[in-house]
């Protein structure tokens, strides 16, 4: 019989197999000479006090433990009913895998390139500041999640759904640790291989994956989707179209508006990406100890209510790099990534302010009001940086003191910084709250505000500024039969795992409809 054993120990002890076995035996009062099999169930670090502890939970049995992964029953689907999926981000890819599990044929269309060719476009972007509008940090195989930190935590409370996504990632090559760690992550260097394996498997099973294939139009007849157009040249008939295009595909929102398909303005968040030295964050979080073999590079999560609005840290990347995430020329956008070891000397995080459609006078009549604000800020940043992909920057201390920076410490942003006052990019209701928020954070993490920290602008692609409304039960658009607005771009997910869950759920809804 399998039993669960939990205890806390030091970080050193958590790495020592013989100590762990002894402690498990102690906990169970196990005196038999029989062999005991055990494996980690959950592991989390508790660094709230000076003595740092590891919370350990193990599955233990006198018999060989059952397989870690369930038996996924993927079917061959070459001759099955096609389900058309637009976008090969986490939502699109996991929708495709769900098709294979349910005996449906996924046919995926992705505007960007396959993951290896995409890497070359990113190298060019980082070297020369040239943005390819179809192949960048947001567009291409794997979606926005491919060249990210690969953090796999989510606020989703449905543990079963989350575990299933993590198990599928392990099935396709992710380290088993992601099933155990309280804050699992994969890393930019490991994600592309996993994504490539998923694609090859989809094709092997009879599905289709088409790259450099952009959805450019669609046809609706009697409130039902009937066909869609790829690359302004090829029309394809459909009765089930999953729209998993992510929140950076502005052309999709414009397309829906052109066809008078209902969309709504949605709250989102905007702000800056702040960067410190990782050693500084380690010392604060680990009470003057540094990360290393025993302790992973430290992270933080900060939140405050300022003048009735949330100001909070977003997508913190320990040991990370700040990336240029624009999807077209004429805009600057930041986000962060890190390799699996998180071994860069910098720690970056978005620090953002909640934005509500009602912040803008015409929010009731213009569903794109938040998107237009987001676009305006990104355009101002580009102009302020010198009309290129350099990033507007200010030291955090100078930002607080409203002074233009004359010197910067080293930043991880490859393309370079331009000294700009954040007040020239953001309206007062954003910068004022950011300043107050930073002062609150400095009380929680003394020294957070300093000349050694840099704010880079803007962090603007936190979540979709547009909602594509859908029926909660059928997952179809509220007005259009057969159209499935999916995941982050439609406003139903925020992050890799929740997007993947939503992709799978859209396919389950289609399967339910067909099976009736
Ligand atoms: C640098 C960076 C770091 C991040 N770090 C993390 C992290 O550590 N953890 C985390 O959980 N989240 C992270 N995120 C956010 C995460 O990547 C997204 O939440 C997630 O990818 C959303 O998944 P999605 O499938 O809904 O959309 P996306 O990943 O945006 O995928 C949409 C796909 O649709 C394609 N597409 C768009 N329009 C069309 C069209 N017209 N025709 C065909 N294809 C189209 C795009 O090319 C894209 O591949 C990060 C994002 C970035 C940019």
pLDDT digits (tens, 9 = 90+) for 190-249: 999 999 999 999 999 999 999 999 999 999 999 999 999 999 999 999 999 999 999 999
- 3-state SS, residue 109: strand
- Ligand 1 atom closest to 255 (CA): 41
- The number of distinct structural domains making up the chain is 3
pLDDT band at 279 (very low <50, low <70, confident <90, very high): very high
**Residue 516 C-alpha to ligand 1 middle, in angstroms?**
33
Regarding whether 229 and 136 lie in a shared domain, the answer is yes
Residue 323, ligand 1, Cβ within 6 A: yes
Regarding whether 182 and 106 lie in a shared domain, the answer is yes
Say yes or no to pLDDT of 291 above 80: no
Evaluate whether residue 68 is within a structural domain: no
Contacts of 199 (CB under 8 A, 6+ apart): 88, 93, 114, 115, 141, 209
**Residue 491 C-alpha to ligand 1 middle, in angstroms?**
12
Regarding whether 152 and 8 lie in a shared domain, the answer is no
Range of the domain at 30: 3-61
Across the chain, mean pLDDT equals: 95
pLDDT attached to residue 436: 98
* pLDDT tens-digit readout, 134-147: 999 999 999 997 88
Q: In whole angstroms, what is the distance from residue 459 CA to residue 378 CA? A: 9
pLDDT attached to residue 203: 98
Alpha-carbon Rg for the chain, nearest whole angstrom, is 24
For ligand 1, mutation pick of 86, 94, 145 (most atoms within 8 Å of CB): 145
Token pair, residue 329, equals 């020329």
Evaluate whether residue 74 is within a structural domain: no
Regarding whether 306 and 254 lie in a shared domain, the answer is no
Q: Going by CA atoms, what residue is nearest to atom 27 of ligand 1? A: 246
**What spatial distance separates the first Cα and last Cα of the chain, rounded to whole Å?**
40
Evaluate whether residue 66 is within a structural domain: no
Instruction: List, edge to edge, every strand of the sheet that includes 224-230.
Output: 215-221, 224-230, 234-237
* Beta pairing class for 309-317 and 346-355: antiparallel
Regarding whether 271 and 257 lie in a shared domain, the answer is no
Evaluate whether residue 69 is within a structural domain: no
Token pair, residue 381, equals 């940043």
pLDDT band at 1 (very low <50, low <70, confident <90, very high): confident
Evaluate whether residue 77 is within a structural domain: no
Evaluate whether residue 17 is within a structural domain: yes
Cα–Cα distances in angstroms (integers) from residue 501 to residues 11, 300, 483, 493, 504, in the given order: 33, 26, 18, 9, 5
Regarding whether 433 and 317 lie in a shared domain, the answer is yes
pLDDT attached to residue 135: 97
Evaluate whether residue 187 is within a structural domain: yes
**Residue-wise burial string across 452-471, b where 16 or more C-beta atoms lie within 10 A, e elsewhere:** bbbbbbbbbbbbbbbbbbbe
Regarding whether 283 and 205 lie in a shared domain, the answer is no
Regarding whether 98 and 226 lie in a shared domain, the answer is yes
Regarding whether 311 and 249 lie in a shared domain, the answer is no
- 3-state SS, residue 17: helix
Q: Which residues pair with 351 in a beta bridge?
A: 272, 313
The position carrying tokens 């071994």 is 343
Regarding whether 438 and 473 lie in a shared domain, the answer is no
Evaluate whether residue 417 is within a structural domain: yes
* pLDDT tens-digit readout, 455-499: 999 999 999 999 999 999 999 999 999 999 999 999 999 999 999
Residue 96, ligand 1, Cβ within 6 A: no
Residue 214, ligand 1, Cβ within 6 A: yes
Q: Which residues pair with 241 in a beta bridge?
A: 84, 483
pTM to 2 decimal places: 0.96
Token pair, residue 141, equals 């195989």
Classify burial at 267, counting beta carbons within 10 Å of its beta carbon; exposed 0-12, middle 13-18, buried 19 or more: middle
Q: In whole angstroms, what is the distance from residue 204 CA to residue 77 CA? A: 10
- Ligand 1 atom closest to 138 (CA): 53
DSSP state of 399: H
Residue 229 phi, psi dihedral angles, 5° rounding: -115, 135
Regarding whether 445 and 416 lie in a shared domain, the answer is yes
**Residue 124 C-alpha to ligand 1 middle, in angstroms?**
20
Regarding whether 294 and 387 lie in a shared domain, the answer is yes
* Domain at 119, CATH number: 3.50.50.60
């Amino acid at each position: 019989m399998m039993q669960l054993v939990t205890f806390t120990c030091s970080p050193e002890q958590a790495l020592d197999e013989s100590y762990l076995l002894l402690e498990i035996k102690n906990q169970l009062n196990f005196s038999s000479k029989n062999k005991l099999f055990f494996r980690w169930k959950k592991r989390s670090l508790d660094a709230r006090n000076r003595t740092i502890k590891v919370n350990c939970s193990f599955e233990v049995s006198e018999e060989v433990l059952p397989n870690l992964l369930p038996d996924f029953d993927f079917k061959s689907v070459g001759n099955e009913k096609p389900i058309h999926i637009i976008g090969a981000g986490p939502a699109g890819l996991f929708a495709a895998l769900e098709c294979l599990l349910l005996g449906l044929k996924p046919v995926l269309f992705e505007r960007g390139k396959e993951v290896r060719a995409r890497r070359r476009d990113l190298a060019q972007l980082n070297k020369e500041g040239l943005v390819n509008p179809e192949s960048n940090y947001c567009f291409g195989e794997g979606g926005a999640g491919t060249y990210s930190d690969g953090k796999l935590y989510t606020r989703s409370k449905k543990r079963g759904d989350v575990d299933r996504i993590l198990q599928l990632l392990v099935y396709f090559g992710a380290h088993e640790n992601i099933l155990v760690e309280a804050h699992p992550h994969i890393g930019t260097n490991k994600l592309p291989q996993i994504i490539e394996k998923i694609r090859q498997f989809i094709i092997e099973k009879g599905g289709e994956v088409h790259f450099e294939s952009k959805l450019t139009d669609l046809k609706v007849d009697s409130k039902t989707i009937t066909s869609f157009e790829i690359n302004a040249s090829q029309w394809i008939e459909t009765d089930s179209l999953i729209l998993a295009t992510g929140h950076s595909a502005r052309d999709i929102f414009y397309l829906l508006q052109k066809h008078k398909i209902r969309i709504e303005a949605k709250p989102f968040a905007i702000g800056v990406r702040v960067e410190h030295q990782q050693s500084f964050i380690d010392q604060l979080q680990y009470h003057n100890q540094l990360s290393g073999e025993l302790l992973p590079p430290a992270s933080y999560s900060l939140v405050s209510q300022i003048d009735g609005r949330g100001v909070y840290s977003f997508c913190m990347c320990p040991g990370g790099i700040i990336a240029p995430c624009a999807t077209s020329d004429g805009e600057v956008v930041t986000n962060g990534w890190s390799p699996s070891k998180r071994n860069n000397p910098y720690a970056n995080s978005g620090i953002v302010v909640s934005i509500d459609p009602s912040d803008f006078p015409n929010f009731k009549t213009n569903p794109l009001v938040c998107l237009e604000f987001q676009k305006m800020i990104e355009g101002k940043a580009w102009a302020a940086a010198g009309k290129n992909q350099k990033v507007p920057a200010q030291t955090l201390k100078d930002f607080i003191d409203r002074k233009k920076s004359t010197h910067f410490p080293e930043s991880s942003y490859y393309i370079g910084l331009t000294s700009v006052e954040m007040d020239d990019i953001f309206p007062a209701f954003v910068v004022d709250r950011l300043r107050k928020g930073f002062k609150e954070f400095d009380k929680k993490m003394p020294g957070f505000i300093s000349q050694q920290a840099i704010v880079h602008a803007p962090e603007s692609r936190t979540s979709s500024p547009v909602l594509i409304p859908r029926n909660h039960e059928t997952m179809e658009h509220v007005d259009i039969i057969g159209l499935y607005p999916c995941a982050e771009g439609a406003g139903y997910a925020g992050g890799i795992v929740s997007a993947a869950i939503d992709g799978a759920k859209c396919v389950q809804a289609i399967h339910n409809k067909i099976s009736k």
